[in-house]
A and B are shown apart, each in its own frame.
Chain A
Amino acid sequence: MKIHDVTIEDNFAEAFRMWACRLIVTAIDEHWLRIAASEVTGYGTSVIGCDAEAGIERWLEPDATPDGRPGVALLFFAFNAKALKTAMPNRLGQCLMTCPTTAVFDGMAHAVSPQSQSATPTQASKDFERFDFGNAIRYFGDGHQKSKVIQGVEGAEGTNAQRVWRIPVMDGEFTVSDTIDACKAIGGGNLLICGKDQRAALDAAAAAVKSIADMPNVITPFPGGVVRSGSKVGSRYKALFASTNDAYCPTLRGKVASQLSDDTGAVYEIVINGLTEEDIARAMYTCIASACESKNIVAIDAGNYGGKLGKFHFRLHDVMTNEGAA
């Protein structure tokens, strides 16, 4: 298959079951909002070494946020709800409560996902888990904290009534949802952009990430959304379970069994985490379509582990033929 002279390899991306939660963070203005978003999603590239994979889902207009201030929706992924239960209060306390003017709300009820359309996910449902969030850090208020059950307005996030904690801090109050919901999600959708040289591949990757900046329910957790150090399963060193993806390393051509064509000079990977398969397929389609518009791109490939590790497979040809639809 070729799109605009770019070869779409007949390969598939292999993705995994993960659990995700969604936060809405608001602040007094865009400057502090960007700082808050950047801090709380920092050190959040891969659960191999970080406590969560985190990223910005999309920016929100003031009218669309629970408190009517400028906001941003963030997604966090981990292997299971228990891992999120530990990671999220830490990120909340260290990165969001400390940041001037922020308020933090549960964004899951309004996530544009078939799983979360019900009014309030119940504890008993196996697709959702609710855990302490603001409730875990309210004691910082040293007895002066207050809570309130507040309902939002239609059309904005936070329409359903939620309990928030109000913790007195030096610039006023830190407002945070009592609990947040985690839902089943998927991590590891990906595409490999093979370019004629490093500049071409890099620019194409950046443009592809930008093309899904406003897409709901997906994030690209790696730096700028792009991974340069794609990995393969296994290593010559017994201690490591993953190592560099030598088949795609341009400087190893001639030394190893390379997947690179002769005119490929560099490869970048975009990893996409999302709430459902439809969300990831839509994002992959948009990224690939964008990369095929970029100059000097040779091929689009995808990373997998033979299909045996992850239960979600995204065949590139299917994604492009269906235009990202299910």
Chain B
Amino acid sequence: MTWMLTWKNASGPTPVDGSVLRPDQLGGLEHDAVCKTLMTIGRVTRPLGELFDITGEPCAGDPHQHELCLANLPRLDRLGAGMERGKLLITGDVGDDLGASMTGGLIRVNGNVGSRVGGPDFDSPRGMTGGEIVISGNAEHHVGHLMRRGMIIVGGTCGKSPGFRMLAGTIVIACGPLDHPGLEMQRGTVICLDGIGAESNGDHLCDAGSIAATAMPAIGMSVRRATHLLSSSSKVSYEGEACLWHGDRFELNKGEVIQWP
């Protein structure tokens, strides 16, 4: 099912936590059930039907195809937290902890997001363990905090330390410079499609110098996937030299930070 929820801007307190809005939980429900699903606002709960205009279209039975489209939202935190499958499509700006501890599916934001995208939910020692998050605008601090698998793509800039304490997975940031990318990372890959600005970046990375882009097809594949999700193009260019750093050298030092040409 494809559900479209548009915030009504009704009177009363504004919610902060958007975690109930999950395509894998709402996608299989009928219209009535979606309207009756409760959203927590502070100490009270209100049904979604009061807060959103809800329209929908049936789609193929495959739960991986369930979509939830959100528009006109207040700045909600924990959208897509714990999500397992389906697509969450958000128009507008989003708060913190987008996709916290998600395990699968796709989150696409046509706007800017807050801190700790793909980071850990409050009952988890790990961030996202699967799925993809695509942000057309900018992200704030600690993109991919403690992420374990999956891909996060930021079409704009990001705040402090993308890949902070990351365990594995891939982060692609379109616009540089990056402030201490991969700080305390164990494994994982942070790719910048722009200049990283390495001069200002502290001691945690070991400079491995430059390497021909075509020498790292796996990074090319990641860049291609990121470009495809951001712009639908399926082309990747292997022209030029990438710059490579290992990190964090005070941790496992199996991570990498790459400036793709």
Contacts and interface: CB of A to CB of B under 8 A. Distances in A.
Given A68-B236, A155-B234, A156-B234, A150 B221 contact: yes
A153 B225 contact: yes
Given A26-B217, A67-B221, A152-B221, A172 B212 contact: yes
Contacts of A151: 132, 151, 225
Interface in B219-249: 220-222, 224-225, 228, 234-236, 238
A103 B225 CA distance: 17
Given A148-B222, A171-B215, 16 more contacts: A28-B214, A67-B218, A67-B221, A68-B220, A69-B217, A69-B238, A101-B214, A103-B218, A146-B254, A150-B170, A154-B234, A155-B234, A164-B218, A175-B216, A175-B218, A175-B221
Contacts of A152: 221, 224-225
B225 A150 contact: yes
B215 A148 contact: no
A166 interface: yes
Given A63-B235, A66-B221, A68-B220, A148 B214 contact: no
A101 B213 CA distance: 11
A322 B221 CA distance: 43
A28 B214 CA distance: 7
Contact of A68 (B170, B221, B256): B221
Contacts of B214: 28, 69, 101, 172
Contacts of A67: 217-218, 220-221, 224, 236
Interface of B: 132, 149, 151, 170, 187, 189, 211-212, 214-218, 220-222, 224-225, 228, 234-236, 238, 254, 256
Interface string A148-186: 111111111010000010100001110100000000000
A146 B218 CA distance: 10
Contacts, number: 73
Contact of A173 (B216, B228, B235, B238): B216
A158 to B, nearest CB: 8
Interface centre among A103, A153, A171 (most CB of B within 10 A): A153
Interface residues of A, number: 26
B10 to A, nearest CB: 39
Contacts of B235: 63, 68
Nearest to A26: B217
B218 A68 contact: no
27 contacts: A26-B217, A66-B221, A67-B224, A68-B220, A68-B234, A68-B235, A68-B238, A69-B214, A69-B220, A69-B238, A146-B256, A148-B189, A150-B221, A150-B222, A151-B132, A152-B225, A153-B228, A154-B234, A155-B234, A171-B215, A172-B211, A172-B212, A172-B214, A173-B216, A173-B217, A175-B217, A175-B221
Contacts of A66: 221
Nearest to A101: B214
Contacts of B151: 151
B217 A103 contact: yes
A63 B225 CA distance: 12
Nearest to A119: B64
Contacts of B216: 166, 172-173, 175
Nearest to A170: B215
Contacts of A175: 216-218, 221
Give the dominant DSSP class at B's interface: mixed
A93 to B, nearest CB: 18
A255 B191 CA distance: 73
Given A151-B132, A153-B228, A63 B234 contact: yes
Interface string A48-60: 0000000000000
A158 B224 CA distance: 12
Nearest to B216: A173
Contacts of B256: 146
B149 A149 contact: yes
A150 B217 CA distance: 11
A172 B222 CA distance: 16
Interface in A175-216: 175
Interface string A23-51: 00010100000000000000000000000
B256 to A, nearest CB: 8
Nearest to B168: A148
Nearest to A173: B216
Contacts of A156: 234
Nearest to B215: A172
Enumerate the 8 nearest inter-chain pairs by beta-carbon distance, A residue then B residue, closest first: A172-B215, A67-B217, A103-B217, A68-B236, A153-B234, A153-B228, A175-B217, A175-B218
A61 to B, nearest CB: 11
A63 B187 CA distance: 29
A150 B220 CA distance: 10
Contacts of B220: 67-69
Contacts of A148: 170, 189, 218, 222
B240 to A, nearest CB: 14
Contacts of B225: 150-153
